Structure 1
Amino acid sequence: MSNELQSLLDRVASTDPATAKELRRHVDALQSRRQFGLNFERHTPESVALTGRSILAGDKVRFLPERGETTPESVATWIVTRIRGPKEARVAELIDPRTKMESSRLVSDLVFVADFRDPIYPGLVSTGRIQRGGDNKPFHTVINAENYHALEAMLFTNRGKVDCIYIDPPYNTRANDWKYNNNYVDPGDNYAHSKWLAFMERRLRVARELLNPADAVLLVTIDEKEFLRLGLLLEQTFPEARIQMVSVAINPSGQKRDGAFRRSDEYLFVVSFGRAEPSPLVLGPEWRGGKSTSTGKIRWDGFLRSGTGAQRDESPLKFYPVIVSESGKILRFGDPIPVGARREDYDGLNMGEVAIWPIRRDGSEGRWQTNVTTAKRLLAKGFIRTGRFNGERTAVSYLKMGEQNKLAQGVYGAYTLGADGYVVVESAAAQGNRATPTTQWNLTAHSAADHGSSLLRKMIPGRSFPFPKSLYAVEDALRFFVADKPGALIVDFFAGSGTTAHAVMRLNREDDGRRRSISVTNNEVNDEEVSLLERGLRAGDPEWDSRGICERVTKPRIKAAVTGRTPEGVPIDADYSFGDEFPMSDGFEENVEFFTLTYENASLVELDMAFERISPLLWMRAGAQGRIISERSDTFEVADTYAVLFSVDAANPFLAAVEGDEGLRVAYIVTDDEPQYQAILGQLPSGVEAVRLYESYLRTFEINTGRA
Structure 2
Amino acid sequence: MSRLTDLIARAKAKDPALGDELDREFKALASRRAFGLNFERHRPESVELPGRPIRRGDKVHVLPPRGSTAKGDQRLWRVLRLEGRGAARVAHLTLIDAAEPETAEVPVANLVVAAEFRDYIYPGLVSTGKVTRGGEKPFHTVINGENFHALEALTYTHRGKIDAIYIDPPYNSGATDWKYNNAYVEKDDLYRHSKWLAMIERRLLVAKSLLKPERSVLAVTIDAREYLRLGLLMEQLFPEARIQMVSTIINPKGVSVVGGFRRADEYIFFAMFGDSAPARLQLSAEWSPSSIVSGTFVSPEPGDEQPTANENKPTVEPGWTSMMRRGSEAGRQDRPSMFYPIYADPERRRIVEVGDPIPEGEDSAPEKSGLITILPFRRNGSQGRWQISAGELKERIKQGRIRLGRPTAYGFVVNYLPDGAYRDAISESYELVGKADDGSLIAYRKEDEDSRVAPTQWKIASHNASEHGSALLEALVPQKKFPYPKSLYAVEDSLRFFLAGNLEATILDFFSGSGTTAHAVMRLNRQDGGRRQCISVTNNEVASEEQTALRAANLRPGDPEWEKWGICDYITKPRIAAAITGETPDGQPIAGDYKFTDEFPMAEGFEENAEFFTLTYEAPVAVSHNLAFQRVAPLLWMRAGSEGRRIDDLPVQGWEVADTYGLLVDLDRTTEFCAAALAADGLRVAYVVTDDDRRFQAVARALPDTIEPVRLYESYLSNFRFAMGR
TM over 0.5: yes
Q: Write the distance in 2 (CA, Å) between the matches of 1:242 and 1:545.
A: 41
The alignment status of 1:437 with 2:454, answered yes or no, reads yes
Aligned with 1:628 (options 646, 650, 667): 646
SS in 2 for 1:52: coil
Residue equivalent to 1:348: none
**Which residue matches 2:718?**
699
- CA separation of 1:543 and 1:11: change in aligned 2, threshold 3 A: closer
Matched residue, 1:676 = 695
1:473-531 deviations in Å (ceiling 9; x for gaps): 00000000001100000000000000000000000000000000000000000131111
Determine whether 1:481 maps to 2:506: no
Q: Which residue of 2 aligns with 1:524?
A: 541
CA-to-aligned-CA distance 1:98-121 (integer Å, 9 cap, x gap):
332111111111111111111100
1:139 paired to 2:139: yes
Unaligned runs of 5+ in 2: 292-296, 298-309, 317-347, 349-402, 405-427
User: How far 1:241 moved relative to its partner?
Assistant: 0.6
Change in CA separation of 1:416 and 1:541 when aligned onto 2, cut-off 3 Å: farther
Q: Distance in 1 between matches of 2:166 and 2:469?
A: 16
Distance 1:50 1:31 in 2: 35
Amino acid at match of 1:81: L
Deviations 1:70-110 (A, max 9, x none): 13432111111111112232111111123321111111111
- Quick check: 1:567 aligned with 2:585? yes
The one-letter amino acid paired with 1:596 is: T
Matched letter for residue 709 of structure 2: A
Q: Provide the C-alpha distance between the structure 2 equivalents of 1:550 and 1:37, rounded to a whole number of angstroms.
A: 37
Measured against aligned partners, the alpha-carbon deviations of 1:7-54 in whole angstroms (never above 9, x if no partner) come to 79999999799x96x984x65553332111111111110111001110
CA contact (8 A) 1:412 1:434 kept: no
CA distance in 2, matches of 1:569, 1:414: 48
2:612 equivalent in structure 1: 594
Matched letter for residue 658 of structure 2:
A
**TM-score normalised to the size of structure 2?**
0.78
Q: CA deviation at 1:247?
A: 0.1
Identity among equivalent positions (%) equals 54
Matched-pair contact (CA < 8 Å) for 2:63–2:111: yes
**In the aligned structure 2, how far is the partner of 1:260 from the partner of 1:549?**
33
Distance change (3 Å), C-alpha of 1:282 and 1:631: same
**1:201 match:** 201
**2:695 is matched by which residue type in structure 1?**
Q
Shift of 1:661: 1.6
Query: Which entry has the higher C-alpha Rg, 1 or 2?
Result: 1
Kept in 2: contact 1:413–1:431 (CA 8 A): no
C-alpha distance 624-413 of structure 1, shift in aligned 2 (>3 A)? farther
Q: SS in structure 1 opposite 2:558?
A: coil
Q: Does 1:545 align with 2:544?
A: no
Letter in 2 for 1:636: W
User: In structure 2, the residue corresponding to 1:424 is in which secondary structure?
Assistant: strand
Q: Distance in 2 between matches of 1:181 and 1:461?
A: 33
Q: 1:563 to 1:61 in 2, by over 3 A?
A: same
CA deviation digits over 1:175-202, x for unaligned, max 9? 3111111100112200000000000010
Amino acid aligned to 1:282? Q
Say if 1:13 and 1:697 are closer, same or farther in 2 by CA, change over 3 A.
Answer: closer
RMSD of aligned C-alpha atoms? 3.0
Change (3 A) 1:415 1:571: farther
Question: Cα 1:449–1:609, aligned 2, differ >3 Å: closer, same or farther?
Answer: same
Structure 2: which amino acid aligns with 1:160?
G
Residue matched to 1:447: 464
Q: Residue 664 of structure 2 aligns with which residue?
A: 645
Name the counterpart of 2:339: none
Query: Among residues 618, 634, 642, which one is paired with 2:636 in the alignment?
Result: 618
Question: Per-residue deviation at 1:425?
Answer: 1.9
Report if aligned partners of 1:294, 1:434 keep a CA contact under 8 Å in 2. Answer: no
| Higher mean C-alpha displacement, 155-164 vs 632-641 | 632-641
Q: Tell me: CA distance 1:64–1:11, structure 2 relative to 1, closer, same or farther (3 Å).
A: closer
Question: What's 2:269 paired with?
Answer: 269
The answer to whether 1:661 aligns with 2:660 is no
C-alpha distance in 1 between matches for 2:462 and 2:469:
10
Counterpart mapping for 1:200-279 below 5 A: 200-279=200-279
- Structure 1 residues 93, 645: closer, same or farther in 2, change over 3 A? same
Secondary structure at 2:502's aligned position in 1?
coil
- Supply the AA of the counterpart residue of 1:591: N
- The question of 1:60 aligning with 2:59 is answered yes
Secondary structure of 1:75's match?
Answer: strand
Quickly say closer, same or farther: Cα 1:679–1:174, change in 2 above 3 A: same
Quick check: 1:289 aligned with 2:308? no
Q: 1:61 to 1:11 in 2, by over 3 A?
A: closer
Which residue identity does 2:450 align to in structure 1? N
Mark the CA change 1:9 to 1:118 in structure 2 (over 3 Å): closer, same or farther. Answer: closer
What is the deviation of 1:704? 3.3
Question: 1:124, 1:598 within 8 Å by CA — same for their partners in 2?
Answer: yes
- The residue matched to 1:152 in structure 2 has which SS? helix
Matches within 5 A, 1:151-166: 151-166=151-166
Match of 2:110 in 1: 109
CA change 1:179–1:417 in 2 (3 A) is: farther
Matched pairs, number: 595
Q: How does 1:10-159 map to 2 (within 5 A)?
A: 24=24, 29-99=28-98, 100-134=101-135, 136-159=136-159
Gap change, CA 1:204 and 1:80, over 3 Å in 2: same
Contact map agreement 1:164 1:491 (CA 8 A) in 2: yes
SS at match of 1:186: coil
In structure 2, the CA distance between the partners of 1:683 and 1:191, relative to structure 1 (3 Å rule), is: same
| Mean Cα deviation higher: 653-662 or 580-589 | 653-662
Q: In 2 relative to 1, CA 171–85 (structure 1 residues): closer, same or farther, beyond 3 Å?
A: same
Counterpart contact for 1:296–1:431, Cα < 8 Å: no
CA contact (8 A) 2:118 2:723 kept: no
Q: How far apart, in 2, do the equivalents of 1:211 and 1:640 lie?
A: 25
Q: Provide the C-alpha distance between the structure 2 equivalents of 1:16 and 1:616, rounded to a whole number of angstroms.
A: 50
Partner Cα separation in structure 1 for residue 527 and residue 480 of structure 2: 29
Change (3 A) 1:188 1:603: same
- TM normalised by structure 1 equals 0.80
Local SS of the residue matching 1:524 = coil
Which runs of 5 or more residues in structure 1 are unaligned? Answer: 300-330, 332-380, 383-410
- The answer as to whether partners of 2:11 and 2:18 remain within 8 angstroms in 1 is no
Alignment of 1:346-495 (within 5 A): 418=435, 424-425=442-443, 428=446, 432-495=449-512
Task: Sort the Cα spacing of 1:510 and 1:34 in 2 relative to 1 into closer, same or farther, 3 A.
Answer: same
Match of 2:424 in 1: none
Check if 1:192 corresponds to 2:210: no
Counterpart CA distance in 1 for 2:572 and 2:617 is 22
Q: Is this contact kept in 2: 1:490–1:516, CA < 8 A?
A: yes
Contact residue 61 and residue 113 of structure 2 kept, 8 A: yes
Shift of 1:174: 2.8
CA distance in 2, matches of 1:271, 1:286: 28
Q: Secondary structure at the match of 2:70?
A: coil
Does the aligned pair in 2 maintain the 1:119–1:701 contact within 8 Å?
A: yes
* Partners of 2:104 and 2:43 in 1: CA distance: 25
CA shift, 1:280, in A, is 0.6
CA distance in 1, matches of 2:622, 2:146: 23
Give yes or no for contact 2:12–2:18 (8 Å, CA) kept in 1: no
